[in-house]
A = this chain, B = another copy of it.
Amino acid sequence: MQPLTSTRNPLVLAARDLQTHTGRLSAGQFLCEGEHLVGEAIRHAPERVRAIFVQQGREDAYAALTSTAPVAALYSVPEHVLQALSQVKTAQGIIAVVDLPLPVALHQLGDRVVLLENVQDPGNVGTVLRTADAAGFTGCVLTPGCADPFSAKTLRATMGSVFRVPAVFAQDAPKAASELVGMGYAVIAAVLDGEDFYARAPLPPKVCLLVGNEGAGLTDEICAHATHRYRLPMRGGAESLNAAVAAAIFMYEVVNRG
Protein backbone atom coordinates (compact mmCIF):
# COMPACT_ATOMS: atom_id res chain seq x y z
CA MET A 1 0.00 0.00 0.00
CA GLN A 2 1.56 3.24 -1.19
CA PRO A 3 1.77 6.07 1.36
CA LEU A 4 0.65 9.57 0.30
CA THR A 5 1.21 12.32 2.84
CA SER A 6 0.16 15.62 1.28
CA THR A 7 -3.19 17.10 0.31
CA ARG A 8 -1.28 18.61 -2.63
CA ASN A 9 -0.29 15.26 -4.05
CA PRO A 10 -1.67 15.16 -7.64
CA LEU A 11 -3.57 11.92 -6.95
CA VAL A 12 -5.22 13.48 -3.93
CA LEU A 13 -6.00 16.68 -5.83
CA ALA A 14 -7.52 14.68 -8.68
CA ALA A 15 -9.67 12.68 -6.25
CA ARG A 16 -10.77 15.84 -4.51
CA ASP A 17 -12.01 17.25 -7.82
CA LEU A 18 -14.60 14.45 -7.74
CA GLN A 19 -16.41 16.22 -4.90
CA THR A 20 -18.10 18.45 -7.50
CA HIS A 21 -20.59 17.57 -10.21
CA THR A 22 -18.42 19.09 -12.94
CA GLY A 23 -15.34 17.33 -11.59
CA ARG A 24 -17.15 13.99 -11.72
CA LEU A 25 -18.41 14.58 -15.25
CA SER A 26 -15.00 15.63 -16.62
CA ALA A 27 -13.13 12.74 -14.96
CA GLY A 28 -15.87 10.15 -15.46
CA GLN A 29 -15.41 9.04 -11.86
CA PHE A 30 -16.95 9.57 -8.42
CA LEU A 31 -16.07 9.06 -4.76
CA CYS A 32 -17.44 6.33 -2.50
CA GLU A 33 -16.96 6.86 1.21
CA GLY A 34 -17.19 4.45 4.12
CA GLU A 35 -16.90 0.69 4.49
CA HIS A 36 -20.46 -0.08 3.37
CA LEU A 37 -20.46 1.91 0.13
CA VAL A 38 -16.90 0.93 -0.82
CA GLY A 39 -17.87 -2.69 -0.18
CA GLU A 40 -20.94 -2.35 -2.42
CA ALA A 41 -18.78 -0.78 -5.15
CA ILE A 42 -16.29 -3.65 -5.04
CA ARG A 43 -19.06 -6.27 -4.93
CA HIS A 44 -21.13 -4.87 -7.78
CA ALA A 45 -18.57 -3.07 -9.96
CA PRO A 46 -15.16 -4.55 -9.11
CA GLU A 47 -13.45 -3.44 -12.32
CA ARG A 48 -14.60 0.15 -11.86
CA VAL A 49 -12.96 0.68 -8.45
CA ARG A 50 -9.75 2.44 -9.48
CA ALA A 51 -8.22 3.68 -6.24
CA ILE A 52 -8.80 3.27 -2.53
CA PHE A 53 -7.53 5.68 0.10
CA VAL A 54 -7.25 4.18 3.59
CA GLN A 55 -6.48 6.12 6.75
CA GLN A 56 -3.08 5.34 8.26
CA GLY A 57 -3.41 2.82 11.05
CA ARG A 58 -6.63 1.37 9.57
CA GLU A 59 -4.88 -0.65 6.81
CA ASP A 60 -5.35 -3.93 8.66
CA ALA A 61 -8.97 -3.23 9.56
CA TYR A 62 -9.79 -2.75 5.86
CA ALA A 63 -7.37 -5.37 4.47
CA ALA A 64 -10.06 -8.02 3.95
CA LEU A 65 -12.11 -5.48 2.01
CA THR A 66 -9.35 -3.86 -0.06
CA SER A 67 -7.90 -7.25 -1.03
CA THR A 68 -11.11 -7.99 -2.95
CA ALA A 69 -10.66 -5.00 -5.28
CA PRO A 70 -9.00 -6.49 -8.36
CA VAL A 71 -7.68 -3.36 -10.11
CA ALA A 72 -7.64 -0.65 -7.43
CA ALA A 73 -4.45 1.17 -6.52
CA LEU A 74 -4.23 1.26 -2.72
CA TYR A 75 -3.03 4.33 -0.85
CA SER A 76 -2.38 4.85 2.82
CA VAL A 77 -2.97 8.46 3.88
CA PRO A 78 -2.81 10.43 7.14
CA GLU A 79 -6.07 11.52 8.72
CA HIS A 80 -5.90 15.10 7.42
CA VAL A 81 -5.59 13.86 3.84
CA LEU A 82 -8.54 11.50 4.23
CA GLN A 83 -10.53 14.33 5.78
CA ALA A 84 -9.69 16.53 2.78
CA LEU A 85 -11.19 13.87 0.50
CA SER A 86 -14.17 13.29 2.77
CA GLN A 87 -17.54 15.00 2.46
CA VAL A 88 -18.72 14.27 5.98
CA LYS A 89 -17.62 15.97 9.19
CA THR A 90 -15.80 12.91 10.49
CA ALA A 91 -14.26 10.82 7.74
CA GLN A 92 -14.95 7.08 7.93
CA GLY A 93 -11.43 5.83 7.21
CA ILE A 94 -11.86 4.60 3.65
CA ILE A 95 -12.69 6.34 0.36
CA ALA A 96 -12.66 4.87 -3.14
CA VAL A 97 -12.44 6.40 -6.61
CA VAL A 98 -14.92 4.60 -8.86
CA ASP A 99 -15.59 4.93 -12.60
CA LEU A 100 -19.06 6.21 -13.48
CA PRO A 101 -21.19 3.44 -15.02
CA LEU A 102 -21.27 3.08 -18.80
CA PRO A 103 -24.35 4.67 -20.36
CA VAL A 104 -27.35 2.38 -20.65
CA ALA A 105 -30.30 2.68 -23.05
CA LEU A 106 -34.00 2.83 -22.19
CA HIS A 107 -34.61 -0.69 -23.50
CA GLN A 108 -32.07 -2.03 -20.99
CA LEU A 109 -33.98 -0.83 -17.93
CA GLY A 110 -36.22 -3.87 -17.54
CA ASP A 111 -39.95 -4.07 -16.95
CA ARG A 112 -40.33 -1.73 -13.98
CA VAL A 113 -38.93 1.76 -14.37
CA VAL A 114 -39.17 4.88 -12.22
CA LEU A 115 -38.59 8.21 -13.96
CA LEU A 116 -37.61 11.12 -11.72
CA GLU A 117 -38.30 14.53 -13.24
CA ASN A 118 -36.43 17.37 -11.51
CA VAL A 119 -36.37 15.72 -8.07
CA GLN A 120 -33.94 18.12 -6.47
CA ASP A 121 -33.26 16.82 -3.00
CA PRO A 122 -30.29 14.41 -2.89
CA GLY A 123 -31.95 12.50 -0.04
CA ASN A 124 -35.09 12.01 -2.12
CA VAL A 125 -33.22 10.82 -5.23
CA GLY A 126 -31.11 8.44 -3.14
CA THR A 127 -34.10 7.14 -1.20
CA VAL A 128 -36.06 6.48 -4.40
CA LEU A 129 -33.14 4.45 -5.80
CA ARG A 130 -32.88 2.48 -2.54
CA THR A 131 -36.63 1.84 -2.51
CA ALA A 132 -36.74 0.96 -6.20
CA ASP A 133 -34.05 -1.65 -5.58
CA ALA A 134 -35.90 -3.07 -2.56
CA ALA A 135 -39.30 -3.08 -4.28
CA GLY A 136 -38.03 -4.88 -7.35
CA PHE A 137 -37.97 -2.01 -9.81
CA THR A 138 -35.40 -2.66 -12.49
CA GLY A 139 -34.24 0.74 -13.71
CA CYS A 140 -34.58 4.48 -13.42
CA VAL A 141 -34.52 7.54 -15.62
CA LEU A 142 -33.18 10.84 -14.27
CA THR A 143 -33.53 14.30 -15.81
CA PRO A 144 -30.86 17.03 -15.75
CA GLY A 145 -32.88 18.82 -13.04
CA CYS A 146 -32.45 15.91 -10.60
CA ALA A 147 -29.87 15.80 -7.82
CA ASP A 148 -26.71 14.04 -9.02
CA PRO A 149 -26.93 10.36 -7.95
CA PHE A 150 -23.14 10.30 -7.59
CA SER A 151 -22.91 13.15 -5.07
CA ALA A 152 -21.95 12.17 -1.54
CA LYS A 153 -25.39 12.91 -0.06
CA THR A 154 -27.31 11.00 -2.71
CA LEU A 155 -24.94 8.03 -2.54
CA ARG A 156 -25.39 7.81 1.22
CA ALA A 157 -29.17 7.78 0.84
CA THR A 158 -28.98 5.04 -1.83
CA MET A 159 -27.18 2.75 0.64
CA GLY A 160 -25.46 1.19 -2.39
CA SER A 161 -28.53 0.70 -4.58
CA VAL A 162 -26.95 3.02 -7.15
CA PHE A 163 -24.78 0.02 -8.09
CA ARG A 164 -27.79 -2.22 -8.65
CA VAL A 165 -30.42 -0.06 -10.36
CA PRO A 166 -29.30 1.02 -13.85
CA ALA A 167 -29.98 4.66 -14.65
CA VAL A 168 -30.58 6.51 -17.91
CA PHE A 169 -29.80 10.23 -17.91
CA ALA A 170 -32.43 11.69 -20.22
CA GLN A 171 -31.82 15.17 -21.62
CA ASP A 172 -35.40 15.18 -22.90
CA ALA A 173 -37.68 13.54 -20.35
CA PRO A 174 -40.95 13.91 -22.30
CA LYS A 175 -39.25 12.20 -25.27
CA ALA A 176 -38.08 9.37 -22.97
CA ALA A 177 -41.63 8.97 -21.64
CA SER A 178 -42.97 8.90 -25.18
CA GLU A 179 -40.42 6.25 -26.18
CA LEU A 180 -41.39 4.12 -23.18
CA VAL A 181 -45.04 4.31 -24.27
CA GLY A 182 -43.93 3.13 -27.71
CA MET A 183 -42.13 0.21 -26.08
CA GLY A 184 -45.37 -0.91 -24.42
CA TYR A 185 -44.95 0.57 -20.96
CA ALA A 186 -47.87 1.85 -18.95
CA VAL A 187 -46.56 5.32 -18.12
CA ILE A 188 -48.09 6.36 -14.80
CA ALA A 189 -48.12 9.98 -13.69
CA ALA A 190 -48.23 10.34 -9.91
CA VAL A 191 -50.39 13.43 -9.56
CA LEU A 192 -52.63 14.97 -6.91
CA ASP A 193 -55.70 15.13 -9.21
CA GLY A 194 -55.56 11.70 -10.81
CA GLU A 195 -57.79 8.67 -10.24
CA ASP A 196 -57.57 6.71 -6.99
CA PHE A 197 -54.60 4.37 -7.40
CA TYR A 198 -56.27 1.76 -5.19
CA ALA A 199 -59.28 1.59 -7.51
CA ARG A 200 -57.17 0.96 -10.61
CA ALA A 201 -57.60 -1.79 -13.17
CA PRO A 202 -54.72 -4.32 -13.23
CA LEU A 203 -51.59 -2.86 -14.80
CA PRO A 204 -49.62 -4.45 -17.65
CA PRO A 205 -46.27 -6.07 -16.84
CA LYS A 206 -44.23 -3.12 -18.15
CA VAL A 207 -44.67 -0.04 -16.02
CA CYS A 208 -42.93 3.33 -15.79
CA LEU A 209 -43.78 5.52 -12.79
CA LEU A 210 -43.30 9.29 -13.23
CA VAL A 211 -42.30 11.18 -10.07
CA GLY A 212 -42.12 14.98 -10.15
CA ASN A 213 -40.36 17.81 -8.42
CA GLU A 214 -40.90 18.25 -4.67
CA GLY A 215 -42.69 21.58 -5.00
CA ALA A 216 -43.95 21.78 -8.58
CA GLY A 217 -44.81 18.15 -9.30
CA LEU A 218 -44.63 16.83 -12.86
CA THR A 219 -44.45 19.18 -15.84
CA ASP A 220 -47.35 19.36 -18.29
CA GLU A 221 -44.88 18.32 -21.01
CA ILE A 222 -44.20 14.93 -19.48
CA CYS A 223 -47.77 14.40 -18.24
CA ALA A 224 -48.92 14.72 -21.84
CA HIS A 225 -47.26 11.35 -22.51
CA ALA A 226 -48.69 9.52 -19.47
CA THR A 227 -51.04 6.63 -20.24
CA HIS A 228 -52.43 6.70 -16.66
CA ARG A 229 -52.86 9.46 -14.07
CA TYR A 230 -53.18 8.28 -10.47
CA ARG A 231 -53.30 9.84 -7.03
CA LEU A 232 -52.80 8.34 -3.61
CA PRO A 233 -55.76 8.96 -1.27
CA MET A 234 -55.26 11.79 1.25
CA ARG A 235 -57.55 11.07 4.19
CA GLY A 236 -56.26 13.53 6.77
CA GLY A 237 -55.39 17.18 6.35
CA ALA A 238 -52.06 16.74 4.58
CA GLU A 239 -52.09 18.18 1.09
CA SER A 240 -49.35 16.02 -0.34
CA LEU A 241 -46.70 13.42 0.42
CA ASN A 242 -42.93 13.65 0.33
CA ALA A 243 -41.81 12.72 -3.21
CA ALA A 244 -39.75 9.71 -2.10
CA VAL A 245 -42.59 8.47 0.12
CA ALA A 246 -45.16 8.74 -2.67
CA ALA A 247 -42.82 6.93 -5.07
CA ALA A 248 -42.31 4.17 -2.48
CA ILE A 249 -46.03 3.56 -1.97
CA PHE A 250 -46.63 3.45 -5.75
CA MET A 251 -43.69 1.11 -6.36
CA TYR A 252 -44.59 -1.37 -3.62
CA GLU A 253 -48.21 -1.39 -4.81
CA VAL A 254 -47.25 -2.00 -8.43
CA VAL A 255 -44.96 -4.91 -7.59
CA ASN A 256 -47.05 -6.54 -4.88
CA ARG A 257 -50.60 -5.82 -6.03
CA GLY A 258 -50.19 -5.52 -9.81
By a beta-carbon cutoff of 8 Å, the part of chain A in contact with chain B is: 44, 123, 127, 130-137, 157, 159-161, 164-165, 198, 232-242, 244-245, 248-249, 252-253, 255-257
Query: What residues of B have a CB within 8 angstroms of the CB of A238 in the complex?
Result: 130-131, 133-134, 159-161, 164
Residue pair B123, A236 in contact (C-beta under 8 Å):
no
- CB-nearest residue of chain B to A255: B235
Number of copies: 2
Contacts of A236 in B (CB 8 A): 132-137, 161, 164-165
Q: Lowest 9 CB-CB distances: which A-B pairs, in order?
A: A136-B235, A133-B236, A134-B238, A133-B238, A245-B248, A164-B237, A198-B256, A249-B252, A134-B234
Smallest Cβ-Cβ distance to A248: which chain B residue: B245
Chain B positions within 8 Å of A164 at CB level = 236-238
- Contact check, A248 vs B256: say whether CB atoms are below 8 A apart: no
CB-based contact B233/A256 at 8 Å: yes
Q: Which of B136, B237, B242 contacts A131 (CB 8 A)?
A: B242
- The smallest C-beta distance from A158 to any residue of chain B, in angstroms, reads 9
CB-nearest residue of chain B to A245: B248
Interface centre among A135, A137, A244, A253 (most CB of B within 10 A): A135
Bound CA–CA A161/B241 (angstroms): 11
Docked CA distance A157–B245 (Å): 12
Contacts of A198 in B (CB 8 A): 256-257
How far is it, in angstroms, between the C-alpha of A30 and the C-alpha of B239 when the chains are bound? Answer: 23
Cβ contacts A to B, 26 pairs, < 8 Å: A130-B241, A130-B245, A131-B242, A133-B237, A134-B232, A134-B234, A134-B236, A134-B238, A134-B241, A135-B236, A136-B233, A159-B238, A160-B237, A161-B236, A161-B238, A164-B236, A198-B256, A198-B257, A232-B252, A235-B255, A241-B248, A244-B245, A245-B245, A245-B248, A249-B252, A257-B257
